[in-house]
DNA sequence: AACTTCACG
DNA sequence: ACGTACGTGAAGTTT
């Protein structure tokens, strides 16, 4: 297989697409969009790395030797990598890449590309997604509205949201996404199938927030105690010995054929028990927590006061510090902090929280006097100076520190100006690597849950289930029953603030033991996971690369540190801009509500009081009397206008209203999992059709518009719009099913418009409550005025997730009606670079399946979906061959229009089908599901699916192999060799087996894409050049990287980013080799 | 807490 | 008997 680069990467050409008006504060705001038509082949990227065995010290490659030598000196190493022009990893060629936006300095907005499209800019140069958007614009004339912001003469173009979803095509059945019904969702708080998991739900809530639950009330889960805690004889050296034993056992290189079975066998052995508790297991079969019954319920601590040296003065601190940095400097240190003044449920630790104490444990044989091996440091009140004394310890990069949920402690310590260095491992991430499916009955990834789990802990050196060192929850130790109003004890337990626990004489000792226990438990957990992961083999492309712990060391450790850095940086948000947006959104919402109410009033007396955001009430209204919905039902609503019920003196807070159906039987689009008619966007849309919504407020609607909305906002822009809209044409096809349900005519039209308005309300609502408001709110906002989300590695496939707030589900660029993404700005003098991969998952599928046809299509480049359509449909292919249509068109200078119509215009339906399949197949969608979406019979859908597979037989074969692997080996692997485990399928239902099959198909694709994104991020993070220029990673959205840095170097930095993303395997593999060699030697 | 709906890749 | 595309986070309402 050719391993060289497949031709040079085309030189990115920046093309100015749109420039904002010069009259506003948006001066100088420029948006660039770059699209590379020629994406290199993934196979080259992913082709086997230089074939190196496990023991590579005798590598013949001189480059490797020099690489290793220079790697020993950290500084030099970075410079060297910077300047190295060629090396073994250059064989790893480009990863597909397309689409890049650079936005200039403050106040920076990503300028809307849509006006550019409207103005006739050639959209062919935009990414395929943008092209799809452009398609959508063909049919949005009727929906067009324009409004302008008063301070900035920024012009927007508004479209109704469903036009984008459907790409503006009449074939409304074809959609990009279908929602996953809740009943089928494996994770999440919802899902009625988690009955057996109820006991741990409360713990699950806090899984990623460390154990710093201060002054918070929550229900506790009782864990049975284990009376026997022992300080067992440990020996830090023995650990190292054991590791080298493990490593020397791995010298044997297996043949590829044996690899899979050997590895999976090992995995199966490792997980005989774990597998049975995988999340995919049906709830009924989930074993309940295996805390030994019959044990005493008395709270027990992992360590006692005899083990702990309390550091509360400078003298002791100095002594302890000397030992930590002297005698024990080479040991692994587990650290943990306790933090006050933070609500972990809401606030980001960046800028919030104050350390009140911390603990350090570096092995059982450490002795800080009197055989005390746990260090506990009080930094409350005047002892705060001890924190400064320990600063050198925390900032010492040579001391290996293990944390549980590192980023939390890192941020809190950063609040005190301490920049933690020497990050060695995060036991939470290790646990996720060990077993990604820990949800439900098995517990969460909290320290408490993990250390209580025999399976997680049995990797410790002197494993003995009797002396399991587990964390005891704070609630168990310090919780007191909350008193109810009548004075009796309630079932709720409450926790005093941690600061109080530390100060109070009655709890101080227990508190110290608890806190020290955290470090001890973290250390033991690390020891166990280290042992277990070291035993698991790590393969990359059938090449044994070492153990999974080495995988952690090579990838996830730097990744974890990088993520903490990103969280720390945060994103700058333009609050004022969001406030403007919110006003507009609220105004439109108000208008829509008033329209809807006006319509409802004709049929129901409750019109003025109905809660339009209540799906239950809407369901009652639209479907009352039909489809299992009772005719009338009463609801409690806020008593807004002080209505006084009969026999009452004062108005009550709530009043009840009677909601009856409109009396017309509407067609029901779909049912919810509960069997009731669904009233989501899909259903409403099919009722309303493509009715246009404009926001020209009529006279009597004015009263609904909030006072504080600028008059200019509401009138100016909209009048213009109306003028440009021209005479209304009667197009009955635009009306949806409600039209005929109302027997057509005006009544039918009104119904459609009203339901469309309802649709708008819901759309606006989600934008306001989901994005506009949380981004303005202070909880996720640090003192630096930046939004700091929490980035977690908590997914089954290895993707990231973002929380508080979730910055990964911001409205997509193309569908962002209120331009919410423009609120993400760079600080003055800075710019943002947003770079995303094009069709990364599909390319990986092509590579993994080694599908000739797909690889060829990617090699040629251009619009992949069009090419798929061509290969699927003979008539399309014929048209292309005859030159009647063009697959894609790259405008050349002097060319205004393509010489022939484009495929995607002429065969739009075909292309959409192909596109749909491209996405669906990788996820394992069935013909049955497609038939539902496309409103065709299952055999017809199957026929289309067969067409897709026709020239891609390898994909089918590969998918079958994955299913088999899931069935036989209980796991599948990503590109980098991460495993996802599955429960034994033989014991599950047919439905569940199907789910496992689809997950097995999807995980290697999604997980490998996550791997590539991670590699790229590590590259970007490590890039000395980017660092020196001041460019920092801010956020990742699965296949999209967002960086911030000085505007003046943006163009250059962009090239570096493109390069790093295009060569994700560069450098990282080298790292792994270095690591491996140094381990063995 | 359960249910439904919605945003993203 | 029911779910039939994967993977997430979050909000609002009602029980």
pLDDT in tens, A244-272: 333 333 222 222 222 323 333 333 334 33
Which among A1062, A1025, A1071 is positioned nearest to A1041, based on CA atoms?
A1062
Strand C contact with A611 (CB < 7 A): yes
Long-range contacts of A737-745 (CB under 8 A, 24+ apart): A737/A666, A737/A667, A737/A669, A737/A686, A737/A687, A737/A689, A738/A666, A738/A687, A738/A688, A738/A689, A739/A689, A741/A664, A741/A665, A741/A666, A741/A667, A741/A687, A742/A664
CA of A181 to C1' of B5 (A): 10
Q: What is the Cα A809 distance to its own chain's centre?
A: 8
Cα–Cα dist A833/A1044, whole Å: 6
pLDDT band at A1067 (very low <50, low <70, confident <90, very high): low
Q: Token match 């809660």: residue?
A: A611
Strands (E) across A254-345 are located at 308-311, 332-340
C-alpha–C-alpha distance, residues A672 and A183, integer Å:
10
Q: Does any strand C atom come closer than 7 Å to the Cβ of A989?
A: yes
Q: Nearest nucleotide, C1' to the C-alpha of A673?
A: C3
The C1' atom of B7 and the CA atom of A192 lie apart, in whole Å, by 23
Does the CB of A643 fall within 7 Å of any strand C atom? no
pTM attached to this predicted model: 0.74
Interatomic distance A335 CA / B1 C1' (Å): 35
Beta strands in A869-961 (DSSP E): none
Contacts of A665 (CB under 8 A, 6+ apart): A626, A741
Q: Which nucleotide has the shortest C1'-to-CA distance from A816?
A: B7
Residue A55: its pLDDT value, please? 16
CA of A187 to C1' of C9 (A): 11
CA(A129)–C1'(C2) in Å?
37
A190 strand C contact, CB < 7 Å: yes
Instruction: Read off the tokens for A68.
Output: 């290793």
- pLDDT digits 0-9 by tens, A74-116: 222 222 222 222 222 222 222 222 223 333 222 222 222 222 2
Let me know: does A738 contact A671? Beta carbons within 8 Å: no
User: Is A181 a residue whose pLDDT tops 80?
Assistant: no
Gap between the Cα atoms of A293 and A225, Å rounded: 10
Residue A227 pLDDT > 90, yes or no? no
What's the Rg (C-alpha) of chain A? Answer: 31
Phi and psi, residue A173, nearest 5°:
-70, -25
Q: Which of residues 994-1013 of A touch strand C (CB under 7 A)?
A: 994-995, 998-999, 1002-1003, 1006
Is the minimum distance from the CB of A191 to strand C below 7 Å? no
Q: Give me the residues paired with residue A659 across strands.
A: A633
Nucleic acid strand C within 7 Å of A682 CB:
no
**Interatomic separation, CA of residue A680 and C1' of nucleotide B3, rounded (Å):** 13
Q: Which two tokens stand for residue A796?
A: 């089954």
Average pLDDT of chain A, as a whole number: 70
3-state secondary structure of A322: helix
Q: Is the CB of A811 under 7 A from strand C?
A: no
- pLDDT class of A851 with cuts at 50, 70, 90: very high
- Which residue is nearest nucleotide C5, judged by alpha carbon to C1' distance? A925
Under 8 Å between Cβ of A493 and A475: yes
- Strand B, nucleotides < 7 Å from a protein CB: these are 1-9
Task: Tell me the nt nearest to A766, Cα to C1'.
Answer: B6
**In the structure, how far is the CA atom of residue A675 from the C1' atom of nucleotide C1, in angstroms?**
13
CA dist A570 → A349, A353, A834, A928 (Å): 12, 17, 15, 43
CA closest to C1' of C9 belongs to: A806
Distance from residue A327 (CA) to nucleotide C9 (C1'), in Å? 46
Specify which residue's alpha carbon is closest to the C1' of nucleotide C3: A184
Q: What kind and span of H or E run contains A1015?
A: helix A990-1022
pLDDT: which is higher, A682 or A2: A682
Is the pLDDT at A165 greater than 70, yes or no? Answer: no
How long is the CA A764 to C1' C12 vector, in angstroms? 14
CA of residue A770 relative to chain centroid, distance = 15
Q: Is the pLDDT of residue A565 over 70?
A: yes
Residue A1009: nearest nucleotide (C-alpha to C1'): B9
Per-residue model confidence as pLDDT tens digits over A605-644: 888 889 999 998 999 999 888 777 888 888 988 876 777 7
**How far apart, in whole angstroms, are the C-alpha atoms of residue A910 and residue A890?**
21
From residues 132-151 of A, list those within 7 angstroms of strand C by Cβ. none
CA dist., res. A168 & res. A725, Å (int)? 18
- pLDDT, one tens digit per residue, over A3-40 is 332 222 222 222 222 222 211 221 222 222 222 222 22
Checking if the pLDDT of A827 tops 90, the result is yes
Q: Closest residue by Cα to the C1' atom of nucleotide C10?
A: A770
Q: Is the CB of A680 within 7 Å of strand C? A: no
- CA torsion A52-A57-A60-A61 (nearest 10°) is 80
Non-local (6+) Cβ contacts of A184 within 8 A are A673, A995
Distance measured from the CA of protein residue A363 to the C1' of nucleotide C5, in angstroms: 48
Strand C close to A670 by CB, under 7 A: no
Query: Distance in angstroms, CA of A617 to C1' of C15?
Result: 15
pLDDT more than 90, % of chain A:
43
Does the nearest atom of strand C lie within 7 Å of A630's Cβ? no
For the CA of A192 and the C1' of B4, the distance in angstroms is 13
Q: Which residue is nearest to nucleotide C6 (CA to C1')?
A: A923
Q: What are the pLDDT digits (tens) for A956-971? A: 999 999 999 999 999 9
Q: Worst-scoring range by mean pLDDT, A264-278, A410-424, A734-748, A849-863?
A: A264-278
Q: Which nucleotide is nearest to A164 (CA to C1')?
A: B7
Protein CA A189 to sugar C1' B2 (Å): 9
Task: Strand A786-787: give its sheet, edge to edge.
Answer: A786-787, A571-573, A824-825
Task: Return the exposure string of A765-784: e unless at least 16 CB atoms fall within 10 Å of the residue's CB, then b.
Answer: bebbebbbebbbeeebbbee
C1' (B9) to CA (A660) span, angstroms: 40
Point out the nucleotide closest to A992 (alpha carbon to C1′): C3
Which bases on strand C have an atom closer than 7 Å to a protein beta carbon? 1-15
SS3 for A886? strand
Residue A924 pLDDT greater than 60, yes or no: yes
Crossing angle, helix A938-950 and helix A864-872, to 10 degrees?
110
Contact A967/A998 with Cβ under 8 angstroms? no
A457, A553, A947 from A538: Cα distances, Å: 21, 12, 37
Q: How far is the CA of A297 from the C1' of C6 (A)?
A: 42
User: Nearest nucleotide by C1' from A799 CA?
Assistant: C7
Residue A616, CB, strand C, below 7 Å: yes
* Length A342 CA → B1 C1' (Å): 25
> Each residue of A44-67: pLDDT tens digit?
333 222 211 111 111 112 222 222
b (16+ CB within 10 A) / e for A665-678? ebebbeebeeebbb
| Chain A residues 883 to 922 with C-beta below 7 Å from nucleic strand C | 916, 919-920
**In the complex, which nucleotide's C1' lies nearest to the CA atom of residue A1002?**
C6
In this complex, the answer to whether residue A928 has its CB under 7 A from any atom of chain C, a nucleic strand, is yes
Instruction: Report the nearest residue to nucleotide B3, CA vs C1'.
Output: A190
- Protein residue minimizing CA–C1' distance to C14: A616
Look at the block and give the residue holding tokens 């005006």: A746
Given a contact cutoff of 8 angstroms between Cβ atoms, the answer to whether A1042 and A834 are in contact is yes
What pLDDT band is residue A134 in, cutting at 50, 70 and 90? very low
Round to a whole number and report the distance in Å from the CA of A317 to the C1' of C8. Answer: 45
For the residues A500-527, what does the mean pLDDT come to? 95
A1038 closest-nt by C1' vs CA: B9
* A:383-442 Cβ neighbours of strand C under 7 Å: none
- Smallest CA-to-CA distance from A89 within A69, A109, A67 is with A67
- The predicted-structure confidence for A708-742, as pLDDT tens digits, reads as follows 443 333 333 333 333 333 444 556 778 888 888 88
């Amino acid at each position: 297989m050719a391993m060289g680069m497949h031709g040079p990467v085309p030189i990115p050409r920046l093309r100015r697409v749109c420039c904002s008006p010069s009259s506003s504060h948006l001066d100088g705001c420029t948006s660039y969009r770059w699209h590379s038509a020629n994406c290199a082949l993934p196979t080259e990227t992913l082709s086997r790395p230089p074939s190196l065995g496990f023991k590579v010290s005798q590598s013949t490659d001189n480059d490797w030797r020099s690489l290793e030598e220079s790697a020993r000196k950290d500084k030099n190493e970075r410079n060297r990598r910077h300047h190295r022009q060629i090396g073994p990893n250059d064989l790893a060629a480009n990863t597909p890449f397309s689409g890049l936006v650079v936005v200039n300095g403050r106040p920076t907005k990503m300028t809307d590309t849509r006006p550019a499209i409207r103005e006739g800019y050639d959209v062919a140069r935009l990414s395929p997604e943008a092209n799809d958007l452009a398609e959508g614009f063909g049919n949005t004339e009727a929906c067009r509205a324009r409004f302008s912001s008063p301070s900035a003469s920024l012009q927007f173009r508004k479209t109704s949201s469903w036009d984008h979803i459907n790409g503006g095509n009449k074939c409304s059945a074809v959609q990009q996404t279908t929602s996953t019904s809740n009943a089928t969702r494996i994770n999440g708080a919802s899902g009625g199938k988690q009955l057996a998991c109820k006991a741990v739900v409360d713990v699950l809530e806090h899984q990623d927030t460390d154990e710093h639950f201060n002054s918070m009330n929550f229900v506790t889960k009782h864990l049975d105690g284990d009376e026997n805690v022992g300080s067992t004889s440990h020996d830090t050296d023995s650990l190292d010995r054991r590791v080298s034993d493990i490593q020397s056992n791995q010298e044997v290189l297996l043949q590829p054929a044996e690899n899979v079975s050997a590895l999976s066998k090992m995995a199966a052995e490792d997980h005989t028990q774990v597998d049975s508790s995988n999340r995919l297991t049906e709830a009924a079969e989930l074993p309940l927590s295996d805390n030994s019954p019959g044990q005493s319920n008395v709270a027990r601590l992992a360590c006692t006061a005899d083990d702990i040296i309390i550091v509360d003065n400078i003298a002791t601190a100095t002594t302890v510090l000397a030992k930590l940095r002297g005698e024990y400097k080479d040991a692994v240190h587990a650290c943990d902090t306790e933090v006050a003044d933070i609500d972990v449920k809401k606030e980001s630790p960046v800028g919030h929280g104050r350390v009140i104490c911390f603990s350090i444990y570096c092995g059982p044989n450490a002795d800080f006097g009197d055989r005390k091996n746990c260090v506990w440091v009080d930094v409350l009140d005047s002892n705060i100076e001890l924190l400064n004394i320990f600063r050198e310890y925390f900032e010492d990069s040579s001391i290996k520190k293990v944390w549980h949920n590192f980023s939390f402690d890192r941020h809190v310590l950063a609040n005190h100006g301490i920049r933690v260095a020497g990050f060695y491992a995060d036991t939470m991430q290790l646990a996720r690597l060990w077993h990604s499916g820990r949800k439900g009955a098995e517990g969460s990834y909290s320290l408490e849950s993990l250390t209580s789990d025999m399976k997680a802990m049995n990797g410790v050196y002197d494993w003995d289930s009797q002396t399991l060192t587990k964390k005891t929850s704070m609630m168990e130790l310090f919780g007191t029953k909350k008193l109810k109003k009548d004075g009796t004890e309630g079932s709720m337990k409450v926790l005093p603030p941690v600061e109080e626990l530390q100060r109070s004489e009655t709890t101080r000792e227990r508190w110290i033991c608890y806190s020290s226990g955290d470090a001890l438990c973290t250390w033991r957990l690390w020891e166990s996971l280290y042992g277990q992961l070291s035993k698991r083999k790590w393969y990359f492309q059938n090449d044994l690369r070492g153990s999974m712990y080495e995988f952690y060391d090579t990838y996830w450790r730097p990744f974890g540190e990088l993520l903490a850095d990103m969280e720390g940086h945060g994103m700058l948000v333009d609050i004022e801009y969001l406030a403007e947006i919110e006003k507009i959104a609220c105004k439109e919402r108000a208008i829509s509500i008033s329209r809807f109410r006006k319509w409802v009033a004709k049929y129901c007396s409750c019109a003025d009081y109905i809660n339009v955001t209540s799906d239950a009430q809407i369901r009652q209204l639209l479907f009352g009397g039909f489809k299992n919905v009772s005719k009338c039902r009463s609801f409690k609503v806020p008593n807004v206008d002080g209505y006084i019920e009969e026999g009452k003196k004062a108005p009550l807070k709530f009043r009840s209203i009677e909601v009856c159906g409109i009396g017309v039987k509407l067609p029901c689009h779909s049912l919810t999992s509960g069997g009731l008619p669904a009233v989501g966007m899909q259903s409403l849309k099919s009722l309303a059709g493509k009715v246009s919504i404009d926001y020209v407020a009529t006279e009597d609607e004015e009263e609904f518009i909030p006072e504080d909305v600028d008059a200019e906002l509401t009138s100016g822009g909209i009048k213009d719009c109306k003028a440009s809209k021209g005479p209304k044409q009667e197009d009955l096809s635009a009306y949806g099913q409600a039209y005929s349900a109302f027997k057509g005519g005006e009544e039918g039209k009104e119904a459609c418009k009203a339901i469309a308005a309802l649709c708008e309300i819901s759309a606006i609502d989600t934008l306001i409550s989901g994005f506009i408001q949380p981004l303005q709110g202070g909880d996720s906002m640090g003192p630096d005025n930046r939004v700091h989300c929490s980035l977690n590695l908590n997914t089954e496939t290895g993707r990231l997730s973002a929380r508080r707030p979730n910055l990964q589900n911001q409205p997509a660029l193309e569908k962002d009606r209120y331009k919410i993404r423009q609120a993400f700005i760079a600080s003055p003098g800075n710019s943002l670079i947003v770079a995303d991969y094009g069709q990364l998952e599909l390319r990986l599928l092509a590579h993994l399946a080694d599908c000739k046809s797909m690889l060829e299509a990617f090699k040629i480049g251009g619009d992949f979906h069009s090419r798929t359509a061509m290969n699927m449909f003979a008539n399309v292919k014929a048209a292309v061959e005859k030159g009647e249509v063009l697959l894609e068109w790259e405008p050349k200078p002097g060319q205004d229009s393509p010489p022939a119509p484009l495929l995607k215009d002429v065969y739009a339906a075909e292309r959409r089908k192909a596109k749909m399949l491209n996405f669906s197949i990788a996820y394992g969608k069935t013909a049955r599901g497609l038939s539902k979406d496309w409103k065709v019979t299952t055999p017809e859908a199957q026929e289309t699916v067969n067409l897709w597979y026709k020239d891609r037989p390898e994909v089918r074969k590969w998918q079958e192999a994955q299913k088999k692997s899931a069935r036989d080996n209980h796991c599948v692997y990503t590109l980098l060799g991460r495993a996802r485990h599955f429960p034994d399928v033989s014991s599950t239902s047919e439905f569940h087996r199907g789910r496992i099959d689809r997950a097995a198909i999807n995980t290697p694709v999604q997980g490998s894409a996550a791997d590539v994104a991670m590699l790229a991020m590590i590259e970007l993070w490590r890039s000395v050049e980017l660092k020196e220029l001041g460019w920092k990673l801010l956020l990742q959205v699965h296949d999209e990287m967002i960086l911030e840095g000085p505007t003046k170097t943006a163009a250059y930095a962009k090239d570096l980013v493109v390069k790093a993303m295009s060569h994700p395997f560069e450098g990282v593999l080298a790292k792994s080799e270095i690591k491996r060699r140094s381990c063995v030697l």
